[in-house]
Amino acid sequence: MDSLIDMKALLEGMDIFTVSLWLTGAMLVLVIIGVRVAFATAFIGFLGLCLFFMQKQGFDKGLITAMKLTGQVPHSKSTTYALSLIPTFILIGYLAYYAGLTGYLFEAARRWVGWLPGGLGVATVFATAGFAAVSGASVATSAVFARIAIPEMLKVGYDKRFAAGVVAAGGTLASLIPPSAILVIYAIIVEESVGKLLLAGFIPGVVSALIYAALIIGMARMRPSLGPPVGGFTWKQRFTALPGAMPILLVVFIIVYSIYFGWATPTEAGALGAGVVLAMALWRGMRWGQLRGALMEAAKLTVMIFTMIWGVLIYVRFLGFAKLPNAFADFIGGLEQPAIITLLLILGAYVILGMFMDAIGMLILTLPITFPAVIALNGGEGVARADSALGMTSEECAIWFGIIVVKMAELCLITPPIGLNCFVVAGVSQDAKMDISVQDVFRGASPFFIADVVTVGVLIAFPAIVLWLPGLL
């Protein structure tokens, strides 16, 4: 009896906002020590909801309400129409890989730009950009080109660290170039237009690829031993390589233009793209085992992403009751310093978090707090351009910040100790007996961190690069 009275007094004396801060800290500790993001966020979210409703309704009723709410979130959110395009985008990439379409893309790029200093590296970047336009999954892109591109680069004398770093960095382009699963997740969390965000990522993705290519050429010029050029291809050989790359380019055309001209919703465009790739794969002789492998891999990745979304949305629901995002937004909006300085501090925090978390987990974990803060930093919801601290309307700010933060998420794919792309490239390389360690991949990818910082700086300085294409809708 005394213990129940003590429990009731403790609940009544709780400040739920302070509790939310402690629980958020506990959730970060759980993630850092290795608990998966989906389970850590779901557990902390459920615990927070229990404490909140127990304080309002008493122990028994509060527990029942928290359990009901926790059970409703996964179902209500997984039936969101926008989420249905994630499996189709993922399926496109795996179908293209299992059908062998990626090899044709790399061969075409090799014949056209191989003569440049570091030409095979440049070809790899352009090929990964092309595959990213049908994949939407960075890890899958890195795994595919670790098998295709690294052996070719090593064969002509490339430095193994350089070759591995190019593939790991090139894989990150899938985060920006549509169809991008991570941009869809961002759109769902911040309740912004999926179509506009997908279009917004296209030009920044191309810019990022060009900056990567310029870095590779510059490094190969200064140290020719890193990546010798590959020549000897006639114009006839170059043009005969193009038909093999056409299927992927056709899918890119279908997805981007159907969304841009309003012929199809993003979900319909994704399904149409998957149908086209499947037809091409069957025409090229895809067997049942390959089709089954593509379907299974797509299903596994889809389930992982959906589980993470469910867990984080339970946590987000608790944050909403605790009003932590609003408090953080008010704090950011009240800082007496230039908005751009505050924005850079937020992006710096992403760099640090990216060293310990995967890209998707980091975004869905932080966006409920950082997104309202950036909107407040811009001047608040519904501001006119002239009244905005960052010179944008609230919708433009949401789209622009989405591209910036996804580009920041790409950094965590190649930064130690959790850089997932680097582990994937090393794992594939070791399976193929190429003697490339994880440390080699991280060292090879480190210059591309600077390239990504340059890209982010360009996108911050020139928001029109992001906003021009979606602004035409």
Start-to-end Cα distance in the chain: 65
Q: Using one digit for the tens of pLDDT, what is the confidence trace for 32-48?
A: 777 777 788 888 888 88
* Sign of the four-CA dihedral 32, 33, 36, 39: negative
Threshold 0.95, pTM exceeds = no
For 281, 305, 385, 393, 399, the CA distances from 408, given in Å and listed in that order, are 34, 19, 25, 22, 14
> Which residues, in sequence order, are CB contacts of 345 under 8 Å at separation 6+?
none
Question: What are the backbone angles phi and psi of residue 178, rounded to the nearest 5°?
Answer: -70, 145
- Exposed / middle / buried, residue 358 (Cβ in 10 Å: 0-12, 13-18, 19+): buried
Average pLDDT for runs of 10 along the chain of length 473? 49 66 80 75 85 77 81 70 73 77 82 89 89 71 82 88 91 81 83 85 92 94 88 84 79 77 78 84 82 83 75 77 69 72 85 72 79 79 56 85 89 75 80 79 90 92 91 77
pLDDT at 2: 45
Provide the CB-side half-sphere exposure for 74 (13 A, CA): 17
What span, in angstroms and rounded, lies between the C-alpha atoms of 423 and 402? Answer: 26
pLDDT at 332: 65
Contact 421, 473 (CB under 8 A): no
pLDDT at 4: 44
For 418, which DSSP code? T
Residue spans of alpha helices (H) in 79-137? 85-98, 101-113, 119-135
For 84, which DSSP code? G
What span, in angstroms and rounded, lies between the C-alpha atoms of 176 and 405? Answer: 10
Q: Using one digit for the tens of pLDDT, what is the confidence trace for 129-181?
A: 887 777 666 777 787 788 888 888 888 888 999 999 999 998 888 888 877 77
pLDDT at 352: 77
Q: What angle do CA 216, 213, 176 make, to 5 degrees?
A: 130
**Nearest Cα residue to 45 out of 5, 13, 77, 82:** 77
pLDDT at 465: 93
For 230, 240, 297, the CA distances from 284, given in Å and listed in that order, are 29, 17, 20
